[in-house]
Amino acid sequence: MRTSRFTIAVYLAPAILVMAAACLYPVLKAFELSGYKWDMGTAASSAKCVGFDNFIAAFSNPQVWSSLSTTLLFAAVCVSAEMVLGIALALALERQVRGMAVFRTIFILPMMIAPIAVGLAWRYMFDAQFGLINALLGVVGIAPKTWLADPTLAFVAIVIADIWQWTPFVFIMMLAALAGVDRSVLEASRIDGARMWHEIFLVKLPMVMHVIAITLVMRLIDAFRVLEVVYVLTFGGPGNSTEILALHVYKTAFIGQQIGVAAAVSILLLVVVAVLSWAALRLSNPMKDSA
Amino acid sequence: MTIDRRSFVKNTSIAVFGAALPFSGVFAQNRFAKYAGKTITINVPAHPHYDAMTKLLPEFTKETGIKVEIDKLAIGRLKEKQLLEMAKPQGDYDLACYIVMWKGEYVAKNLVHPLEPFFANPALADPAYDMKDIIPIYLENLGMVGGPKGYLAGPGAQLYGLPYGAETSVLAYRKDVFAKLNLKVPETYDDFGKALRILKEKSGMGALTSRGQAGHQAVHAWLLHLNPLGGSVFDDQWKPRFNDAQGVAALKFLQEVVATGPAGIPGFGQGESNTAFLQGQAAMYLDSTSFAGVVSDPARSKVVGNVGWALHPRGTRRASQSGGLGLTIPKNAKNAEAGFLLLQWLTSKAQDKAVTRLGGAPIRNSTMNDAELVRQYPEFEVFREALKHSNPDWRPIIPVWDRINVQALGIGISEALTGKKTAEAALNDLVPQVTQIMRESGYKI
């Protein structure tokens, strides 16, 4: 039976409308704002059209480029670590072991905590005077560190907090994907003499590559949008060593009151994330196969 | 200059009240009747002073019949919410708490009511209010906009808000540690610098605690030394002068504070800075008077009974900070008049004493001189003296200050505190950026 174009349109329309309202409208609004000079707290009608001035102001600001490189480094380190750890954990815990339900629940707890609370908790843990991390380092004889007062250590601190919070996401995605791997294929590989490493790298992971790609894209997008944890933990400092682009956008918009410039920078962020997502999906695009 | 400014504040208040006095008695008793049963909304930060205020509100409702809803936010999120709220045709806030630095911007954007018309309205004004009793420097610093430089008292200045949670700077020190080391409380910046080294080497704890986190916190810490050392952010023509000898000296002093203080100052916000002193990790504290209530609270402080108070040390001049919080009435308030009644009630003599008893910060001379309260808070004697030296030009409260503060100075100073740049290089590198921001904001420099 052939489905008419009309039926397809009717079924798709609600989803398209919701997507347009929830996703497309804010993006278009950001494009619009980037062409105006508007002060928060004044009427929208008082906004002045300034053409590409906001883009010129944004792209000629060295802080934007240093924030972009901080963000790229942050995303690269965090997402790589989360993918490796998440996949390794999922492979280790996919088997039926006693108490597995408890383990799984514990592992996904960090993801459920509000980012502001995560930031605060880590701020206390990294405290130079009273923090848990320094106390633990002291047990193994390492001198206390001033985590949030040193540019390199502060960057390490935001990376650790992000890995702690988001590895569970990779873990549950991979756990679900691995559960769907056809057992008969695994048995066949074993009959053919595959060892555990062969089974993992030549059978299991290639079979879940679609999920790995999607998870990677979702983590990349999220890593570029991280704001609250860094806001609370370091507020971009010391200096601007942890000022990732999302925080730069926030400061430009709400402290500097340059809404238009902030919109221009957020469009830069959008372009970078879109390019990276496209590259990640080239690894393995589930939508392409089903088309 | 000082006499002119103070007399201006005094005269303004007399003029406002002089106008209201002949009629006020007639309306005094039923001032609230018209608004009884209404609900007003007040937007406040999570802050010890406003926590104390919250406890007074049931009494206000009992006295007036006006119900009060509180919208409490983290202090860092207050402004963005207020700007969004105040830009609507009709906002949700009838009274809003602001940080001193925002006053110019709110007035420039026409977002808040001037208060004179309310005080001149005999149907609303309380004849016993006594504006002259409000500490003049607080009234000027928090409330006045439109005068000299845009934010000082003088010709053109109008009252747009009232201080509520205002503060100045004082030195707190560990009496026990100073006695043990036979150390004199620093009177001057020379003594102060020497004390930092001695305390670092001999006390077994950090010398002076300080804020230092990138952004506002680092700038706040630097300003604490810049003013007494004779510096200022801009000259009289609004040209940056913060990189001159005084500016560099202040930043070098702050670097010394970091080197001799509790570990981690370049990451410290106000909370961490306070905690270091409260937990006995630092021998001195130089910051807001709003800290006093917490220091004597055994639940939060390990140093109760061991803390002495002194004036902010003298550099090339005697100066202490001016700043803190105030209350204002948004232009788009639904119940501006009822909002004013709450503002007037909270800042009245009786309620100022009441909030102080609960650990809040007083704004009136009568409260600071109240015998019973001085017994409760002996440090008020030092605070009264500090207020005499409080500098209303502590920081340039121009609308664009927030941007300069957080996005320019706050980053450069932080870089100097971690050793990434020298004090000279950090400040020199900031001049082009700050000059550009000033030019973009319309200053012809």
Angular region, B122: left φ>0, alpha ψ -120 to 50, beta rest: alpha
Specify if A32 maps to a domain: no
Q: How far is CA A44 from CA A35, A37, B432, in A?
A: 13, 10, 31
**Total domains, chain B:** 2
Please tell me the distance from the alpha carbon of residue B346 to that of residue B342, in angstroms, as a whole number: 6
* Residues spanned by the domain of B427: 169-321+400-440
Comparison of pLDDT for A44 and B431, the residue scoring more: B431
* Residue A238, preceding peptide bond in cis (omega within 30° of 0): yes
User: Which of A129, A232, A250 to mutate to test binding with chain B, by most B CBs within 10 Å of its CB?
Assistant: A129
Question: Is position A17 within any domain?
Answer: no
Residue A74's CATH number = 1.10.3720.10
A135 shares contact with chain B (CB less than 8 Å) = no
For residues B148 and B18, the answer to whether their CB atoms sit within 8 Å is no
pLDDT at A1: 57
Phi, psi of B401, rounded to the nearest 5 degrees: -60, -40
The CATH number of whichever domain residue B84 belongs to comes to 3.40.190.10
- Is the pLDDT assigned to residue A273 strictly greater than 80? yes
Say how far residue A31 (Cα) sits from the centre of its chain: 23
In the prediction, which pLDDT does A45 show?
A: 82
Chain B interface includes A124 (CB < 8 A):
no
What are B's interface residues with A at a Cβ cutoff of 8 A? 79-80, 82-84, 86-87, 105-106, 109, 111, 212-215, 217-218, 262-269, 272, 275-276, 279, 281, 402-403, 406-407, 411-412, 414-415, 417-418, 420
Q: Report CB contact under 8 Å: B109, A256.
A: no
* High-pLDDT (> 70) share of chain A, %: 96
Please indicate, yes or no, if residue B183 is contained in any of the structural domains.
yes
Q: Cβ contact (<8 Å) for A255 and B262?
A: no
In a domain, B394, yes or no: no
List all residues of chain A from 22 to 51 with a beta carbon under 8 Å from chain B.
39-43
**Distance from B71 to chain A by nearest Cα, in Å?**
19
Q: Rounded to an integer, what distance in angstroms lies between the CA atom of residue B65 and that of residue B85? A: 26
Per-block mean pLDDT, blocks of 10 residues, chain B (445 long): 49 47 50 94 95 96 96 91 92 97 93 97 95 96 95 95 97 97 97 97 96 96 98 97 98 98 95 95 95 87 95 97 96 97 98 94 96 94 96 94 95 96 98 96 91
pLDDT cut 90: percent of chain A above it: 59
* CA distances to A68, A83, A110, A287, B304 from A278, in Å: 18, 18, 28, 12, 60
CA nearest to A130, candidates A146, A142, A112, A111: A146
Tell me the nearest-neighbour CA distance from A8 into chain B, angstroms.
41
State whether residue A238 sits within 8 Å of chain B by CB. Answer: yes
The verdict on A255 touching B (C-beta cutoff 8 Å) is yes
The span from the CA of A265 to the CA of A249, in Å, is 7
A257:B403 CB<8 A: yes
**Which tops the pLDDT comparison, A20 or B362?**
B362
A54 touches chain B (CB under 8 A): no
Do the domain assignments include residue B297?
A: yes
Does residue B393 sit within a domain? no
The pairing of beta strand B39-45 with beta strand B67-73? parallel
Whether B351 and B296 share a structural domain = no
Cβ <8 Å between A149 and B418? yes
Interchain CB distance below 8 Å, A237 and B266:
yes
Say if the Cβ atoms of B272 and A127 lie within 8 Å.
yes
At A119, is the secondary structure helix, strand, or coil?
A: helix
Give the pair of three-digit tokens for residue B212. 């230092």
Q: In sequence order, what are the residues at sequence separation of 6 or more whose Cβ sits closer than 8 angstroms to the Cβ of residue B426?
A: B251, B412, B413, B415, B416
ipTM: 0.85
Write the residue in A146, A235, A238 that is nearest to B263 by C-beta.
A146
Instruction: Judge whether A142 lies within some domain.
Output: yes
What domain range includes position A206? 61-290
User: What is the interface size between A and B, counted as CB pairs within 8 Å?
Assistant: 115
Q: In this predicted structure, what is the pLDDT of residue B123?
A: 94
**B392 in any annotated domain:** no
B381 and B415, same domain (yes or no) = no
pLDDT at A22: 87
Closest CA to B317 of B388, B248, B257, B220: B388
Whether residue A114 is predicted with pLDDT greater than 80 in this model: the reply is yes
CA distances from A91 to A167, A178, A186 (A): 13, 8, 14
pLDDT digits (tens, 9 = 90+) for A192-241: 888 888 888 888 999 999 899 999 999 999 999 899 999 999 999 899 99
Instruction: State residue A107's pLDDT score.
Output: 82
| Residue B286 to residue B208: CA distance in whole angstroms | 7
What's the structural domain count of chain A? Answer: 1
| Shortest CA distance from B421: residue in chain A | A239
What is the reported pLDDT for B29? 56
Instruction: Tell whether the model's pLDDT for residue A24 goes beyond 90.
Output: no
- The C-alpha of B266 sits at a distance from chain A's nearest C-alpha, in angstroms, of 5
| Range of weakest confidence among A79-83, A158-162, A180-184, B277-281 | A180-184
pLDDT given for residue A96 in this prediction: 72
Handedness of CA B212, B102, B401, B408 (dihedral sign): positive
| A104 — pLDDT class (breaks 50, 70, 90) | confident
Q: Which positions in chain B touch A130 (Cβ < 8 Å)?
A: 275, 279
Determine, yes or no, domain membership for A134.
Answer: yes
Note whether residue A261 is domain-resident: yes
Residues of chain B positioned with their CB less than 8 A from the CB of A243: 411
Q: Are residues B37 and B125 in the same domain?
A: yes
Asked if A238 and B265 come within 8 Å (Cβ–Cβ), the reply is no
Mark yes or no for CB contact A128/B87 under 8 Å.
no
Q: Within a 10 A sphere around the Cβ of B31, how many other Cβ atoms?
A: 21
Q: Indicate whether A38 belongs to any domain.
A: no
Quick check: helix, strand or coil at residue B30? coil
Q: Which pLDDT belongs to residue B19?
A: 44
Q: Is residue B436 part of a domain?
A: yes
For residue B206, what are its two tokens? 């950090």
Rg (CA), chain B: 22
A260 CB within 8 Å of a chain B CB:
no
Average pLDDT, chain A: 90
Q: Determine whether the interchain pair B264/A149 forms a contact, defined as Cβ–Cβ distance below 8 Å.
A: yes
* A58 inside 8 A of chain B by CB: no
CB contact under 8 A, A239 and B418: yes
The residue among A37, A40, A60 with the most chain B CBs within 10 A of its CB, best to mutate, is: A40
pTM metric for this prediction: 0.89
pLDDT of residue B11: 52
The alpha-carbon gap from B324 to the nearest alpha carbon of chain A, in Å, equals: 18
CA B220 – CA B75 distance, rounded (Å): 16
